[in-house]
Amino acid sequence: MRGFAVFDVETTGFRSPVDRIVEIGVVTLAPDGTVEDEWETLVNPGRDIGATHVHGIRAGDVLGAPHFADIADDLEGILVDRALVAHNASFDVRFLSSEMVETGRMSIGATPPSICTMRNSRYFLQTSSAKLKDCCTAAGIDLRNAHSALGDARATGELMRFYLDRAGSSAPWQGITDQVDAFHGWVRPDTPNPHCRRWTRKDSSEARDAGGQWISRITGTRPDTADREAKEYFSLLDRVLLDRELSQWEQAELLGFARRNGLSRQALEDLHLRYLTQLARAAWADGVLEEAEVQEVARTATLLGVPAELGSELLSHDRAGAQEVSVSGVAPADAPRPSISPSPLVLRPGDRVVVTGPRLLEREEWREQLLRLGLEPGGICKKARLLVAGDPDSLSGKARKAREYGIPIVTEEAGLRLLAQMDTAGNRRPLDATTGH
């Protein structure tokens, strides 16, 4: 036996194999408890991310992460010939085994030898609770970054070392460690995958972009666009900016447009200025500039990588569209214009609105609200007008189909605003976002 592999997994839910691993952290210990190494990665589960409120992981965090099949070889190399250790090991080992079997790295029905620090707490700790936090408190261990896989694995590793120091030669898990060398459930592939690049929460944080830096990833060289392309791009902006948010999926759509057409960064910046010009004109259309409209233009400018002061300049120069905006790259008044309004999408009775992974309201509350306004709740299909998502980067099947069909995906807050807009026109009252009544 090489030692111990202390690990923790964060998952989309509790039902393996329906639910999947979204993060795994491993701390390897020598047989005497000395820390040897650490390993962690987020995992793209290929489905809805699940309990973000527990683990803090959002769908956008795992878009750049490897799938489990990509990490299986590296992970097996870490775990083989070691006793697995986890807090509530039956849960973590069940998920790990399911993923390993699915990727062909473990025999069906095999159960690797494992030690549960939760079950063993009764031998070494004076505590009425076996939760990891309470066990760590009883052992004088500082639990940091709880509900992150590596944070919990580190704390569990410290707990295991605490047990090892006190167990001596009469460790209650002696029989389990004796089974490690006899375990033959691991299946080494004939052609192992090359070492994959891992993806951590830090990587996700650095990649997450709400400030327009996505435009720096444009590599094309074409300096201008045709009217047809401008119209297509403005239509795309109308859709992805419907909720005045720009998810990572939506950033990828905009980058995809630029790459397909070979556009340079300057060409896209010019399109963004033209778009913001028309947004400014729409704001002044009634002769009154409200604070909410100022904020909308500023927010859109930030998302598109345009300096906030330039957005303010556009508003101050383009009152009611009566004057041209004298900014380099902005097209004259007869150029193709985006269909900007307070909301480019207007819902009408009979429209299908789909909801996926709601967090603000319960599913039944969304259904009641949609029915009250004469809208059609249901599954995703090409005729659906809108997908409301608790996480706009959702990896759910509904979200994947919506992207395939070109159906707008908006946050719950934006969905409620659209319903309120419809309700005002139809003189109906939607459910309150906080009370659900």
pLDDT per position as a tens digit, 295-320: 888 889 999 998 877 877 888 765 54
d(CA 332, CA 72): 56
Q: Where are the domains of the chain?
A: 3-201, 210-321, 352-426
Distances from the Cα of 256 to the Cα of 213, 214, 262, 269, angstroms: 15, 12, 10, 15
Tell me: cis bond preceding 358? Omega within 30 of 0 counts.
Answer: no
For residues 151-163, give the mean pLDDT.
97
Q: What is the DSSP letter of 332?
A: P
At 319 the pLDDT is: 54
For residues 85-111, give the mean pLDDT.
96
In the three-class reduction of DSSP (H, G, I as helix; E, B as strand; rest coil), residue 128 is classed as coil
Using 50, 70 and 90 to split pLDDT, how confident is the model at 212?
Answer: confident
Rounded to the nearest integer, the mean pLDDT of the chain is 87
Q: What is the DSSP letter of 193?
A: P
Tokens for 62, please give them: 């795992």
Tokens for 216, please give them: 């720096």
At 363 the pLDDT is: 94
| Whether residue 294 has pLDDT greater than 80 | yes
Question: CATH second-level architecture of 352-426?
Answer: 3-Layer(aba) Sandwich (3.40)
For residues 355-366, give the mean pLDDT.
94
At 343 the pLDDT is: 53
d(CA 173, CA 160): 11
Please state, for a pLDDT cut of 70, what percent of the chain lies above it. 89
User: In degrees to the nearest 10, what's the CA dihedral of 395, 232, 246, 68?
Assistant: 30
For residues 215-236, give the mean pLDDT.
91
Q: Backbone dihedral region of 56: left (phi > 0), alpha (psi from -120 to 50 degrees) or beta?
A: left
For residues 191-217, give the mean pLDDT.
79
Q: What length is written for the chain?
A: 437
At 436 the pLDDT is: 40
Look-up of token digits 């795994």: 24
Instruction: Give 353's strand partners.
Output: 377, 386
Domain 3-201 has CATH 3.30.420.10: yes
pLDDT tens-digit series, residues 63-82: 889 999 999 999 999 999 99
| Whether residue 329 has pLDDT greater than 80 | no
